[in-house]
Amino acid sequence: MRRVGPVRVAGSVAAGTVALLLGLAGCGLVPGSVTPVDEVEFTNELAIPPLAPSRVVDGARVFSLRAQEGTTEFLPGVETRTWGFDGPYLGPTLRAERGERVAVEVTNDLDEPTSVHWHGMHLPAAMDGGPHQEVEPGGTWRPTWRIDQPAATLWYHPHPHGATEKHVYRGLAGMFLLDDDASRAADLPQEYGVDDVPVVVQDKVLDDAGQLQLSDDGSEPGTLGGTVLANGTVGAYHEVTTEAVRLRLLNGSTARTYQLGFADREMDLVATDGGLLDAPVRLEQVRLAPGERAEVVVRMEPGETTRLHSFEADLGGVVVPFAMGGNDDFDVLELRATDRLAPSPEPAWTTSAHAADDALRESDATVTREFELDDRRINGRTMDMGRIDETATVDATEVWEVRSIVPMPHTFHVHDVQFRVLTVDGDPPPPELAGPKDTVYLEPNRTYRLLMRFEDYTDPDVPYMFHCHMLLHEDEGMMGQFVVVEPGQDAGTVPEHDGGAEHGDHSDADAGGSGPDVTPATDAHQGQH
């Protein structure tokens, strides 16, 4: 097996941070919380993001998304300036079936460049929506690809170079649900917005004028807000009319990690980031770091009320957990069962016809790569748009050994693939990491061995990203780039600044994006105007 090791750098910026944190720990702050969440009444009906309209043009399902400014009344009578897709905050839920070709017309009505990344999606790098596919103000980008992966709760959000935290925090994010043969036939609640409910969990700091604030005081791992939102609703309740409800939980926050569950009942975990588990797992809580998803099924009795709660999160060996949200506990969403509940099945499903093709086998792995994370660097380097850090061969199965060497929260996200967590420090992963994953919380000083395969698409010149999904960390350079190439092919070159505000050369209005081709489906769509 080929082993690709990290570039080791003597000394570490981590030392400074640890000293800072130890100072904080010693300065008399009681280990309650420095980032408490406000108590609120749960009297607002949970907003359900609408399903995005689409139309089929030449065999492709075509969606459109428009990034725009607006205002949102998070608190009664207070207009907060926000950003959203096709509305003032968050965006519609896109939904497509395995095997379908999709196309999205992404228009940027903001005053600055943005991008839309399809988090968790297997697709060509030029369609990925990372920092190399920014859309200039007034511009439209038209990615297209074929859905070829299991049913899952994916999501989309901007990924502009150095500004992802701000764009997501202002409200640009939405869900992208995939269906397949297994999910369609599953005994699972399936009525969108009724018993199959998207729940985007986020936290905000609202200043005295009710405006969104990102702290710039060096807090780690970023801004932790005292106002918690579910789908943009503060103090949300959802009326449950069935014996069981499926919650598609997404941590859409920039920095906060949640430990979600119910004080008075267990739940069935049915899916992780990239799709269904082999079988449901009953558990009390699921930890979700930024970018991670979990689908859970919760049972209710007629007339009762319960609340989805975020318990004190176990952040692993973090040096001062109470300064990083680890001691916060608060309610997120109230579920109110009606007096009569329609029957719901016990969660069960059979495997997809694609399961054998999708399967990853450790025995197929031919390459092992090591990734070591410190404060802001991965393998001693910060992000360089012009540097390709890793080159993978198409169809190769690889093991990525990832380890954070600092006592602070980090996550690890890989574009294009869903991986399997083989081991955590040599042990089998807990149930919440046992399904397909694209993002994983890294407990400090533990080695996560991730198994993945880079299929179908090669492009030596357009990279995919791997990075920390704590968005301040990502923006401050905790990101690297990889390309997928044909056997024997070398990585190409990427222009150093081919995205971003400085150069508007690749995504001006009505250009076909940075991909080499504008597909027939997109052309046909353009022809309709």
For the CB of residue 59, give the shortest distance to ligand C2O in the complex, in Å: 28
Of how many residues is the chain composed? Answer: 529
Q: Cα separation of 477 and 452, whole Å?
A: 24
The closest residue (CB) to ligand C2O is 119
Helix (H, G, I), strand (E, B) or coil at 311: coil
In the complex with ligand C2O, the residue whose CB is nearer, 42 or 466, is 466
Least spacing, CB of residue 37 vs Cu ion, in Å: 21
The 3 state secondary structure assigned to 205-220 is EECCCCCEECCCCCCC
Binding site partner of 473, from ligand C2O, Cu ion, none, Cβ cut-off 5-8 A by kind: Cu ion
Which of 428, 383, 379 lies closest to 404, judged by CA? 379
Task: Check if the beta carbon of residue 121 is closer than 8 Å to that of residue 149.
Answer: yes
Tally Cβ neighbours within 10 Å of residue 278: 10
Closest distance to ligand C2O from the beta carbon of 186 (Å): 26
Among 61, 98, 117, 420, binds ligand C2O (CB under 6 A): 117
The answer to whether the CB of 148 falls within 8 A of the CB of 98 is yes
Answer with the entry of Cu ion, ligand C2O, none that 299 interacts with (C-beta below 5 to 8 A by kind): none
CA distance 444 to 414: 19
Site string for ligand C2O, 359-378 (x = CB under 6 A): --------------------
The DSSP annotation for 169-232 comes to HHT--EEEEEE-HHHHHSBS---BTTTEEEEEEEEEEE-TTS-EE---S--SSS---SEEEETT
The 3 state secondary structure assigned to 428-453 is CCCHHHCCCECEEEECCCCEEEEEEE
Which of residues 117, 157, 238, 410 is near Cu ion by CB under 5 A?
410
Q: Shortest approach of ligand C2O to residue 103 CB, angstroms?
A: 21
Does 234 interact with ligand C2O (rule: CB under 6 A)? no
470 binds Cu ion (CB under 5 A): yes
Binding piece for Cu ion, criterion CB under 5 A, among 101-109, 287-295, 391-399, 466-474 = 466-474
Residues 458-487 that bind ligand C2O (CB under 6 A): 465, 467, 469
The option from ligand C2O, Cu ion, none interacting with 465 (CB < 5 to 8 A, set by class) reads ligand C2O
Question: Binding ligand C2O by CB under 6 A: which of 119, 256, 410, 453?
Answer: 119
CB of 30 to ligand C2O, least distance (A): 35
Omega cis (within 30) before 221? yes
413 belongs to the binding site for ligand C2O (CB under 6 A): yes
Closest CB to ligand C2O among 168 and 491? 168
The C-alpha atoms of residue 389 and residue 463 are separated, in whole angstroms, by: 9
Element (H, E) at 55: strand 55-57
468 binds Cu ion (CB under 5 A): yes
CB of 164 to ligand C2O, least distance (A): 8
Q: Does residue 293 belong to the site contacting ligand C2O (CB under 6 A)?
A: no
Cβ-proximal residues to 363 (8 Å cutoff; 6+ apart), any chain: none
Smallest Cα–Cα separation from 409: which of 336, 320, 306?
320
Residue 119 C-beta: closest distance to Cu ion, Å = 16
Shortest distance (Å) from residue 439 CB to ligand C2O: 7
Q: Which does 119 bind (CB under 5 to 8 A by kind): Cu ion, ligand C2O, none?
A: ligand C2O
Q: Which two structure tokens, joined as six digits, stand for 403?
A: 């380890």
Contacts with ligand C2O by CB under 6 A: the residue count is: 10
Nearer to Cu ion, 125 or 468 (CB): 468
How many residues sit in the footprint of Cu ion (CB under 5 A)?
4
Binding-site ranges for Cu ion (CB under 5 A)? 410, 468, 470, 473
